[in-house]
Amino acid sequence: MSDGGCADPAGSVGAFLCRAGQHLRAAAIENPRLEARLLLGEAMGREPAALLGMARAPVPPAAAGRFAAMLRRRLTREPMAFILGHQGFWSLDLEVSPDTLIPRADSEAVVEAALAAMPAGAHRVLDLGTGTGCLLLAVLSEWPLAFGVGVDLSPGAAALAARNAARNRLADRAAFLAGDWAASLRGGFDLVLSNPPYIESGALAALMPEVSQHEPPRALDGGADGLEAYRSLTGALPALLSPQGCAVLELGQGQARPVSTLAERAGLAIRDIRTDLSGIERALVLARR
């Protein structure tokens, strides 16, 4: 990699970070120096923060090759999480793949809402559209007596979620199925979670390239009005919930009112609406009437 005017010696950590940051900045990627550290840290088997004190240290040839390959992928706007192969969520470290959406901090509002709605915990939990398993595994990590079932239309996603359960020592309290929402399940769940597809079909192409070009469209596309999955979910929830159970649905921006209307038409009561860290109404808490 050419050092392109960077101050540190050629082939050093500082020179690699400087030049990679220039390339990432030119590709309109935010936080280019941070991303460069994440990639080089992965390539060298070091914590990214440790590189800050290693500016003049040489980068071994094998690590340089790994770094160059990862940098090329990131410059095509492949998500960082897919390149690194994992993503943090709640207190968990989760494997990720193009079979699923990458867990996002916004979705932690769903976990917070579930914990607040059921302070004594739950015994039977269902996660519809489980993806990486992030929502289900997060609540299981907080409730040691709970057992959960995750369902995803994609067999690859269901297999990934099962690996994440094992990765986080929760495999004995979780099961994952490939299926169409809750079509093959009976009711009696104390808690139902879901982060369904909620982007309007016409808006998908305008999403940032990391999302529109790399994450699975079936996990994003909510139909013409973004509400298609909510219609299915709200219709199914009354039969899935135990008498004292509740459901927590993740919402897209501006969807709290229309999804609440769908829920009320299905015979559900609105118990709470919680916001994410940006102040967006992100989690809708429902119960049987």
**End-to-end distance of the chain based on CA atoms, in angstroms?**
64
In this structure, how many other beta carbons lie within 10 angstroms of the beta carbon of residue 265? 11
pLDDT digits (tens, 9 = 90+) for 151-197: 999 999 999 999 999 999 999 999 999 998 888 788 899 999 999 99
| pLDDT at residue number 38 | 94
Q: How many CA atoms lie within 13 A of 136 on its CB side?
A: 32
pLDDT digits (tens, 9 = 90+) for 49-59: 889 888 889 99
| pLDDT at residue number 215 | 93
| pLDDT at residue number 5 | 60
In this structure, how many other beta carbons lie within 10 angstroms of the beta carbon of residue 144? 9
CA distance 52 to 178: 44
Above 70 in pLDDT, residue 81? yes
| pLDDT at residue number 52 | 85
Q: Are strands 147-152 and 241-250 parallel, antiparallel or unpaired?
A: unpaired
**Rounded mean pLDDT, 93-119:** 95
Above 60 in pLDDT, residue 3? no
Q: How many CA atoms lie within 13 A of 103 on its CB side?
A: 31
The more confident residue out of 2 and 55 is 55
Quote the CATH superfamily of domain 86-288: Vaccinia Virus protein VP39 (3.40.50.150)
Burial of 24 (0-12, 13-18, 19+ CB in 10 A): buried
Q: Using alpha carbons, select from 122, 124, 134, 210 the residue that is nearest to residue 165.
A: 134
Q: What's the whole-model pTM score?
A: 0.90
pLDDT digits (tens, 9 = 90+) for 201-255: 999 999 999 999 999 999 999 999 999 999 999 999 999 999 999 999 999 999 9
**Rounded mean pLDDT, 16-40:** 93
Q: Using alpha carbons, select from 177, 196, 173 the residue that is nearest to residue 186.
A: 177
Above 50 in pLDDT, residue 266? yes
Q: Return the HEC string of the chain.
A: CCCCCCCCCCCEHHHHHHHHHHHHHHCCCCCHHHHHHHHHHHHHCCCHHHHHHCCCCECCHHHHHHHHHHHHHHHCCCCHHHHHCEEEECCEEEECCCCCCCCCHHHHHHHHHHHHHCCCCCCEEEEECCCCCHHHHHHHHHCCCCEEEEEECCHHHHHHHHHHHHHCCCHHHEEEEECCCCCCCCCCEEEEEECCCCECHHHHHHCCHHHHCCCCHHHCECCCCCCHHHHHHHHHHHHHEEEEEEEEEECCCCCHHHHHHHHHHCCEEEEEEEECCCCCEEEEEEEEC
Q: Where are the domains of the chain?
A: 13-76, 86-288
pLDDT digits (tens, 9 = 90+) for 115-148: 999 998 899 999 999 999 999 999 999 999 999 9
